[in-house]
Chain A
Amino acid sequence: MTSFSAAGGHGAIPTDGVPADEGNVPTRPQSPLWEVFVRSRRGLSHTHAGSLRAPDAHMALRHARDLYTRRQEGVSIWVVPASVIVASSPDEKDSFFDPAGDKPYRHPTFYDVPEGLTHL
């Protein structure tokens, strides 16, 4: 009996002997990868919506519009080549981010506010 998984959307997918990826670099040049950021309404920031492949910035912007704003989910789109993004490393997390965690006085909830007073 072939084993298969219900996993994924429409289920019933065979899993016997199915490889994940094999690290085979494609011989054909591939479209570069772009990360997409969408501002859904004025007043909000751009948030990361996902990624896509496109040969250049012009097409990337258009694909992003087709892919991520079909249901009027956006007023502004940024596309950024994934290769230029500089990100913090998970290994650096402790030194990079933890110090911010023990300085609760940066957060407004740290302070007691007498009851009944507003604008504080």
Chain B
Amino acid sequence: MLTRTIVRYPGVRVGGAGGLAVQTAELATGHEQEFQERVDADGRIEPRDWMPEGYRKTLVRQIAQHAHSEIIGMQPEGNWITRAPSLRRKCILVAKVQDEAGHGLYLYSAAETLGADREELLDLLHRGRQKYSTIFNYPTTSWADVASIGWLVDGAAIMNQVPLTRCSYGPYARAMTRVCKEESFHQRQGFEAMTVLANGTPAQRAMAQDALDRWWWPALMMFGPSDSESPNSAQSMAWGIKRFSNDDLRQRFVDATVPQAHHLGLTVPDPDLRFDEDSGHWISGEIDWTEFYAVMKGDGPCNRERVRNRVAAHEDGAWVRAAAAAYADKQVARQVAA
């Protein structure tokens, strides 16, 4: 029996300045306990519930950057829509990219329930202050890259995202449920496309192997460094935002994906990869984070162009948005006059 309130978070930050401070501090302790008990009991926090400011901020940042990743992610794949090698593949890719725009929209909406504003979040992205998944700063130089993104990148994303469907914050969990349903199609079509390539002409097989060679390690690095090196992990786990450790998720991904690569007849570009009989796990070689960190910092092949394209779309479209707003205002005025 839950109260489902859908009004926005009121925007009055608990612990605000001046006279409000003492009152809100007392209120906060009681609320804080209730909040933590609810999270510990695997309950849901809904908009307008009291929440620690740190929780709210962490979620806004995470959800916003997740949304930014979806819309930036439209570019590396979107680049291949007009060049897709068959009509069926073209249709599948259009549907996928369309889903990604939709995911961005669900997520911006979820962030807005926390008192954030989509325009502001986009502005932070455009100015480079908020970021997006580093994986999308790699170029898609061949059709097999499109297939690999579906197979590996979306496959890894699913591992990350399924736990979020049980995240403590209701709107985010619900958005993620919708996203995960759609994402499984993305992964399957990617694997199917790779299967066709791997079983195709020598040129197609080489294209597939080359893509795997370039996307394997970045996909593993999507899961983040070992949690011992992630200061924020513990707090996120306590708040029910993060459910499993980075290493756990990465291991799951490797165990699921290596057999898939073998099924394709392709070679995983990890000479140290071995199967450990005792644990039943595929053990990866050492991850070399150097190049990845360079890409993350901003020196990847596509960092500048991704943001530039995104900013251009927004600025080029400003006159359109202004027109829609002007028309809406005129209609209101006409109704009033009538």
| Chain A residues close to B by CB (< 8 Å) | 1-15, 18-26, 28-31, 33, 35, 48, 50-53, 55-56, 59, 67, 70-71, 82, 85, 87-90, 93, 96-97, 100-101
Contact = CB atoms under 8 A, between A and B. Distances in A.
Contacts of A55: 321, 324-325, 327-328
A18 B65 contact: yes
Given A6-B223, A14-B296, A97 B3 contact: yes
Contacts of B120: 21-22, 24-26
B179 A9 contact: yes
Interface in B198-242: 218, 221-225, 229-232, 236, 241-242
B67 to A, nearest CB: 9
Chain B: number of interface residues, binned into ranges: 35 or more
Interface stretch (B84-92, B130-138, B270-278): B130-138
Nearest to A7: B62
B84 to A, nearest CB: 20
B42 interface: no
19 contacts: A3-B231, A5-B232, A7-B62, A9-B66, A9-B160, A11-B157, A11-B222, A12-B221, A13-B69, A14-B134, A20-B58, A20-B60, A21-B120, A28-B321, A31-B321, A50-B109, A55-B324, A67-B102, A70-B99
Contacts of A88: 3, 5
Contacts of B73: 10
Given A28-B119, A55-B324, A10 B61 contact: no
A87 B47 CA distance: 11
Contacts of A53: 118
Contacts of A20: 56-58, 60-61, 64, 116
A4 B3 contact: no
Interface of B: 1, 3-8, 11, 46, 48-50, 56-58, 60-66, 69-70, 73, 98-99, 102-103, 105-106, 109-113, 115-121, 123-124, 129-136, 153, 156-157, 160-161, 171, 174-175, 178-179, 182, 218, 221-225, 229-232, 236, 241-242, 246, 249, 289, 292-293, 296-297, 318, 321-322, 324-325, 327-328, 331
Contacts of B11: 23
Contact of B8 (A1, A71, A82): A82
Contact of B121 (A21, A33, A85, A101): A21
Given A29-B325, A90-B3, A6 B117 contact: no
